[in-house]
């Protein structure tokens, strides 16, 4: 990762994961509460990272008016399931979209979609079966997707 905003956000999230990992393993209820919280944080990380990477790309390859337009449009990005990320990527470059679709098919796509679906369920007060181990796994896959996007932009 090279984008400073993404690096900073990842470090903060890594610190929270490290603290939660130190919780007593027999306190399942406490771990479940933290897993839900982490799910919301990971969803936010995904959203802000995609926004930051494409904003940086627009700033580097276009004039300030176009970059400002792109940044404003990216503010609308919320709850980015994989299809939404793919459509956004395709708006920049259709070849990137195709390559990202292939690279994320399967587990990566499922992880991104699960993060957002669980986040929405949590936000609406529904029960979810997310565990610390599962959200950590999803987070690691989200980081892989962010790295792919960043590499496509040559940042």
With 80 as the cut, is the pLDDT of residue 155 above it? no
Residue 117 pLDDT > 80: yes
Q: Is 103 exposed, middle or buried (0-12, 13-18, 19+ CB in 10 A)?
A: middle
Directed axis angle between helix 107-123 and helix 132-152, to 10°?
A: 120
Supply the mean pLDDT for the chain: 96
* pTM, rounded to two decimals: 0.95
pLDDT in tens, 6-61: 999 999 999 999 999 999 989 989 999 999 999 999 999 999 999 999 999 999 99
**What pLDDT is stored for residue 132 in this prediction?**
95
Give the CB-side neighbour count of residue 47, counting CA atoms within 13 A.
15
Over residues 61-82, mean pLDDT? 96
Residue-range domain boundaries for the chain:
4-152
Work out the average pLDDT over 99-117: 98
pLDDT single digits (tens) 130-143: 999 999 999 999 99
């Amino acid at each position: 990762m090279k984008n400073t905003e993404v690096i900073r956000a990842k470090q903060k999230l890594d610190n929270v994961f490290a603290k939660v990992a130190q919780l007593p393993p027999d306190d399942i209820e406490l771990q479940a509460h933290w897993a839900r919280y982490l799910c919301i944080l990971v969803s936010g990380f995904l959203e802000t990272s995609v926004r930051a990477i494409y904003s940086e790309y627009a700033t580097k390859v276009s004039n300030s008016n176009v970059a400002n337009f792109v940044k404003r449009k990216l503010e609308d990005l919320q709850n980015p399931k994989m299809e939404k990320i793919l459509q956004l990527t395709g708006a920049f470059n259709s070849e990137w979209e195709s390559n990202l679709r292939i690279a994320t098919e399967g587990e990566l796509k499922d992880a991104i979609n699960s993060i957002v679906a669980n986040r929405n369920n949590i936000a609406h007060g529904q029960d979810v079966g997310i565990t610390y181990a599962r959200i950590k796994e999803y987070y690691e896959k989200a980081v892989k997707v962010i790295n792919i996007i960043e590499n496509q932009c040559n940042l």
